Structure 1
Amino acid sequence: MRRVHGLGWIDSKQLDSDGQLKPCTAPQCGGFTLEAELGIAKNSSGEPDFLGWEVKQFAVEDFERIESAKPITMMTPEPDGGFYKDADVASFIRKFGYADKNDKPDRLNFGGRHVVGQRCPPTGLTMQLVGFNAATGKITDANGEIALVSDADEVAASWSFKKILEHWAHKHAKAVYVPSKRQTEPNWQYAYGHKVRLAQGTDSLRLLRAFASGAMYYDPGIKLENASTQKAKAKKRSQFRVASKNIGALYETVETVAV
């Protein structure tokens, strides 16, 4: 990380699985650019990124103040239950989504911060932890799930504990959180900070307690373009996020170190 920090502003890029570097101009390119510098190809592997460590980039305004309220996307698993799984993404968006708030024509979105126990106004769904007792911090049903539930008690989408917890405990046992800044002029570029946060010692119960407390939440970016036509195109983006300042809720230890 010392070498990457010393490079200053780096042209935004991604390293494809075939070893080719390509330009990148999307919101998630801060992570792709960092991974490319570390020799990590763009992928959705369930393995940690680098030498047993999961590498996470997050945006900041000041490299001296890296514990911010800005969100970090922790994982992006697709639901494995509910209407989302039983139907298709386009049908899900049409049923639970809403017209684009920026008046983009013929576009439906499904987004908004979904916190356990709180109804999300844009979607009308409430996230629930089914099979977890928040008071005791214990799992009461191994077949439980994280569910988005409508006012009519329909499960719109769900993630089984088995899917979420196995992924989390294996991939995120050790993680390094790297602050970044972005500039788009004269070129789309990223710079990475001189301090990083090393997080270790997580487990399934810590993750579920973070959901129960509201530290971890669901904040999707799912959309359906040309929604009224036969050429409607859906984009999937399920993502679970946490504010940078709250990552301590997920780990036994979090240490800030200079590189």
Structure 2
Amino acid sequence: MTDQAPPIQAMESLMKKQGAERIIFKLLSNNDNSKQQIYLGTDFNVLRLLQHGDLIAGENSGSKKGVMYKASLNFHWISFNGESEQAKGAQLILYPKYPEVRMSGFTRGCSIAPSHLLQPPTKEQRDERINTLRCFMLGLCPDGRILAYIDHWTGSISKEAQRLISTNDASPVGTVFHERVRPEHDNRSALLAKLREIHQMGFVRSCRLNGAGNRIEYSAKNGAGYTLESLFNITPNGHAGPDYLGWELKSHSSGPVTLMTPEPDTGLYTQSLEAFLESYGRCGEIRRDFTGKHETNKRNKKTLLTLDMEGYDSDKQEIIDTSGGLIMRDDAGNIAAGWSFDKLLTHWSRKHAHTAYVPYTHEDRDIRYYAFGPEVHLCEGADLKRFLNALNNSTIYYDPGINMKLSKGKWTPKKRNQFRISWRNIDRIYDRTIKENLGLDRNR
């Protein structure tokens, strides 16, 4: 016996020294190789787990897998002797029809890539290795780098990883991956404990954190989210990641929930906001507005525009033409604004995997005060088919708040392309929704 750390922990330590905040691993089957690609699951979780570039439509090959989307990865192989090199061809491939996600190009152009461990097996090798698996480790860095290491079929890391899974000492993550620690349960408990503490505070004076992290008064009427974030010591717009221990926090009252605010990437809107508002908005001498709830396949009576999911088969609930998207046209067929499938899928793939919806009430005193709870909704997962179907049937609808104001001879724009959902429908877009009552004493 020695005091040396187990091999899997040694590699974790090496990855952390190189910047990884989280280390996950997967046991590779025979079919996980450079020819057949590495299988990463049948849902969207892995797209949220691994930072990636924009999803870009590939050519329609007419294969059984249907259309595909690709996204680049900042992928680096590392070794125990300190070597590190980027595999610049590494990418994710999404097949929306299933959906299914795979990784390819992970050895191309990389001199230290363990290509000998990722070759397609012969028939004899396939039979020999049927119950012998390689451990594929990934270190996830905040700057988007992905550090990778793969162990031999009979290596100590591969054996240790199999033991951890078989003894339930590793927790599942992203469908096909595991991690040695168990952050999800502990983080959920920690989140609920903090929310319970905030609920017990009662009404809290409206506030936010400034750039220096100091709590300051916030007098505007939209202070619920800022106040909740300040109680978690979160600076507004401080980072793009989850707010607290892997969870995104969303405060809400009784109204609809804003899910995302992506800018259009096609149509007159992208060419000239002024022309867009003059053509489809309400225009006065000093203000121009474009507002109103827009649902798919329904002509909006005020803007006279119709949204449609072009290139989407509603019966099969799948994309059949990657050149399409959510398109808003006028009666003459001109595109006023639109969101390509590339844009929609990229935006949704980067939404956080765990979201806590925290209801609030308010009281207007000398300033607004907020109380949070008692019931919260913890929502996890949001697969591709559910998202696209929700857009197509208007469970998720477009509700813009766009304007231009004339001040001192200059038009100033304000863009707010909101996609919203009624609160009663929130559980229709998530895989799992758990309701928790913060008023219950869990210690009894």
Shorter-chain TM-score tier? 0.7 to 0.9
Show the counterpart of 1:7.
201
Q: Is the 8 A contact 1:178 1:196 kept in 2?
A: yes
Cα displacement string for residues 141-192 of structure 1 (whole angstroms, at most 9, x for unaligned residues): 2343212211111111112222222222332322111111122223112111
The reply to whether residue 128 of structure 1 matches residue 322 of structure 2 is no
Show the counterpart of 1:54.
248
**What percentage of aligned pairs have identical amino acids?**
36
Distance in 1, matches of 2:214 and 2:327, equals 39
Q: Which deviates more, 29-38 or 215-224?
A: 29-38
The reply to whether residue 238 of structure 1 matches residue 417 of structure 2 is yes
Distance in 2, matches of 1:27 and 1:144, equals 39
Show the counterpart of 2:162.
none
The letter for the 2-side match of 1:134 is: S
Residue number among 272, 275, 278 corresponding to 1:94 in the alignment: 278
Q: Is the 8 A contact 1:172 1:202 kept in 2?
A: no
SS in 1 for 2:225: helix
Q: Which deviates more, 45-54 or 72-81?
A: 45-54
SS in 2 for 1:209: helix
Show the counterpart of 1:254.
433
Q: Is the 8 A contact 2:221 2:368 kept in 1?
A: no
Show the counterpart of 1:65.
none
Q: How many residues align?
A: 244
Taking structure 1 as the reference length, the TM-score comes to 0.86
Q: Which deviates more, 241-250 or 155-164?
A: 155-164
SS in 1 for 2:410: coil
Show the counterpart of 2:406.
226
Q: Is the 8 A contact 1:72 1:242 kept in 2?
A: yes
Show the counterpart of 1:71.
256
Runs of 4+ in 1 over 6 A off after TM superposition: none
Residue number among 153, 158, 162 corresponding to 2:338 in the alignment: 158
Q: Which deviates more, 13-22 or 132-141?
A: 13-22
Distance in 1, matches of 2:303 and 2:246, equals 38
Cα displacement string for residues 23-58 of structure 1 (whole angstroms, at most 9, x for unaligned residues): 334454222221221122211854322222221111
The letter for the 1-side match of 2:261 is: T
Q: Is the 8 A contact 1:210 1:216 kept in 2?
A: yes
Cα displacement string for residues 105-140 of structure 1 (whole angstroms, at most 9, x for unaligned residues): 732211000111111122111111122211211111
Shift of 1:232: 2.0
Show the counterpart of 1:63.
none
Q: Is the 8 A contact 1:47 1:171 kept in 2?
A: no
Shift of 1:250: 0.4
Q: Is the 8 A contact 1:46 1:167 kept in 2?
A: no
Distance in 2, matches of 1:161 and 1:23, equals 41
> CA 1:173–1:181 in structure 2 vs 1: closer, same or farther (change >3 Å)?
same
SS in 2 for 1:124: coil
Distance in 2, matches of 1:17 and 1:160, equals 35
The reply to whether residue 204 of structure 1 matches residue 384 of structure 2 is yes
Distance in 2, matches of 1:205 and 1:27, equals 36
Residue number among 30, 47, 63 corresponding to 2:224 in the alignment: 30
> CA 1:172–1:149 in structure 2 vs 1: closer, same or farther (change >3 Å)?
farther
Q: Is the 8 A contact 2:207 2:226 kept in 1?
A: yes
Cα displacement string for residues 72-112 of structure 1 (whole angstroms, at most 9, x for unaligned residues): 1111122222111122x333222211147xxxx73221100
Greater relative contact order structure (CA < 8 Å, 6+ sep): 1
Distance in 1, matches of 2:240 and 2:322, equals 21
Residue number among 29, 40, 48 corresponding to 2:234 in the alignment: 40
Larger radius of gyration between Structure 1 and Structure 2:
2
The letter for the 1-side match of 2:199 is: H
Show the counterpart of 1:188.
368
Q: Which deviates more, 31-40 or 111-120?
A: 31-40
Taking structure 2 as the reference length, the TM-score comes to 0.52
